[in-house]
Amino acid sequence: MNLNFNPELCRNETEVESKLIVSYLLPQLGYSPDIWHQEVKLASNRLDFLALLKPLIPFVLDKKAPLSVIIEAKHPKENLDRHQRKLKTYLLECQVRCGVLTNGKQFRIYELSKDEMILRFQCAGSEIETNLDAIKKIIGREVLKRESLETAAASSPAPLSLLPSPSPPLMAMIEEMPMPAPKNNFIKEEPSTMQVIAIYHNKGGVGKTTVSVNLAAALKNKGHRVLLIDLDSQANSTFATGLIKFQFEEEDNLINNYVYHLLEAGDFHFIPEVARPSETFNQPEIDVIPSHIDLIVHQEKLNRIGASRSRLLTKLNRVKDQYDLVIIDTPPSRDLYAEVALITANHLIIPSDLKPFANQGLANVKMFVKLANEFRENMMGRVPLNIMGVLPSKISTNAQFMKHTFPRQKSAVTGYYQLPLMETVIYERIPLSHSISYMKKTGETELEVPDPKSIFEFCKIDRSPSAAQSAQEFEDLANEVLRKI
């Protein structure tokens, strides 16, 4: 088995954080994403990582907080000696006994004994693998939990036993050693009736938003508790559900509380605080986690924080008894936000107009799903994403097209691309596009303002057979989804 951590792959501080600490060290030591925090503010300083013995909500640094380990990551060329004093300050101020300093090339564990910081363990980055058991005996979560219980009544914790310095292993020996299967110490798959469905295709213009909002409305109409999450910086689902009412920047009521804030940190901005009911979109209304055009500018920061990928799932698990179904509208790309959706969801629907470019994009979708499944399994212990099927959407109703072209397009999905095809077909009809762009007149001047509707509400305005047919198609889609989950 290949090494889980290779210090040669860490070229900067960000890669030390992501490849050593987030992807390898924290899970190996038993710290799941809900019990460690990154970039924790401490007075005028920021801790790189702070791990806890158990979840702490709300996250407040005080004497009662079950703090465990402080980890400071540095650039591979940084001299760790220069950062010992700062680590000691952190340990003293937080009253945390153990701290780690690493630049990927070197790895050190310090212990606070009274007011002195003592070096308890050190090794090269290439030796971390073979010394993992020794490291666990010092800063492993289960070890520190047990010691915390044993010393709870004592006035001060007993000092750790000094472990002998590890002998330098040969790389050849490491490569030949059988490595244990990685433990899934991340989010556990807990039994829940809540089902999360991602609506994704990396090709734009295939009807993802139309499918997302109207499927959510159809499921809500059937009495299910539904949450719609907009993970696309274009914020089309946010607009389609009537949440973008402002005309000027100073009236923007979304910018300080939207989906980015869910992903930013695990200690605040939980789903009940960010979700808001849609406005005149459907009766009954659905809960929506809105997006914002500013979402795109935050992607680089979230990419540096490994927990961003699993944070949405962590927060959804907190409300799993409040919703039956969660629909995630995704961006038409292979970026962080699309990855978050595939990591979080139980099921995937791939809307497609089945035209050549959309069909050619299915190979990329399959590869992206494969990568997401590797993360789900290796880092979170989750089962693979269930591909519910490719959903034909925005399909022409032309008789000749339906007779000659449509069957060939469908056969390409199941034959060439080896993907399941959903039974329901969403046809391209004028009322379906008009429902999302519906305008109403308001005030004495009868100024037209956006008032988007679900296809079901729009049928009360447009009583044409075409509108009724579109509504029936989403009714059929909701029934198929419920049957398949």
Q: Which is nearest to 330 in space by CA: 385, 375, 380? A: 385
* Sequence ranges of the domains in the chain: 7-170, 195-484
Residue 59 has a pLDDT of: 61
102 with 16: CB under 8 angstroms?
A: yes
Q: What is the 3-state secondary structure (H, E, C) of the chain?
A: CCCCCCHHHCCCHHHHHHHHHHHHHHHHCCCCHHHEEEEEEECCEEEEEEEECCCCCCCCCCCCCCEEEEEEECCCCCCHHHHHHHHHHHHHHHCCCEEEEECCCEEEEEEEECCEEEEEEEEEHHHCCCCHHHHHHHHCHHHHHHHHHHCCCCCCCCCCCCCCCCCCCCHHHHHHCCCCCCCCCCCCCCCCCCEEEEECCCCCCCCHHHHHHHHHHHHHHCCCCEEEEECCCCCHHHHHCCCCCCCCHHHCCCCCCCHHHHHHCCCCCCHHHHCEECCCCCCCCCEEECCCHHHHHHHHHHHHCCCHHHHHHHHHHCCCCCCCEEEEECCCCCCHHHHHHHHHCCEEEEEECCCHHHHHCHHHHHHHHHHHHHHHHHHHCCCCCEEEEEEEEEECCCHHHHHHHHHHHHHHHHHHCCCCECCCCEECCHHHHHHHCCEEEECCCCEEEECCCCHHHHCCCCCCHHHHHHHHHHHHHHHHHHHHC
- In whole angstroms, give the CA distance from residue 195 to residue 483: 13
Class (C level, CATH) for 195-484: alpha beta
The dihedral through the CA atoms of 463, 467, 469, 472 has a sign that is negative
| pLDDT for residue 7 | 81
Q: What's the rounded Cα separation, in Å, for the pair 132 and 95?
A: 25
pTM of the model: 0.63
Angle between helices 141-150 and 132-139 (to 10 degrees): 30
**Predicted local distance difference test score (pLDDT) of residue 256:** 87
Query: What is the pLDDT, as a whole number, of residue 151?
Result: 61
From first to last of its 485 residues, the chain has per-residue pLDDT tens of 334 677 888 888 888 888 888 888 998 999 887 788 887 776 656 788 888 888 766 566 666 667 789 999 999 988 998 899 889 988 888 888 899 999 999 999 999 887 789 999 999 999 998 999 999 999 999 888 888 776 654 444 444 444 444 434 433 333 333 333 333 334 444 446 899 999 999 998 999 999 999 999 999 999 999 999 999 999 999 999 999 876 666 667 788 889 999 998 887 889 999 999 998 899 999 999 999 989 999 988 888 877 788 899 999 999 999 999 999 999 999 999 999 999 999 999 999 999 988 888 999 999 999 999 998 988 888 899 999 999 999 999 999 999 999 999 999 999 999 999 999 999 999 999 999 989 887 766 667 788 999 999 999 999 999 999 999 999 999 999 999 98
Amino acid (1-letter code) at residue 202: N
Report whether 339 contacts 309 (CB < 8 A).
Answer: yes
What CATH class has 7-170?
A: alpha beta
pLDDT at site 326? 98
Measured CA to CA, the distance from residue 313 to residue 32 in angstroms comes to 12
The span from the CA of 83 to the CA of 179, in Å, is 33
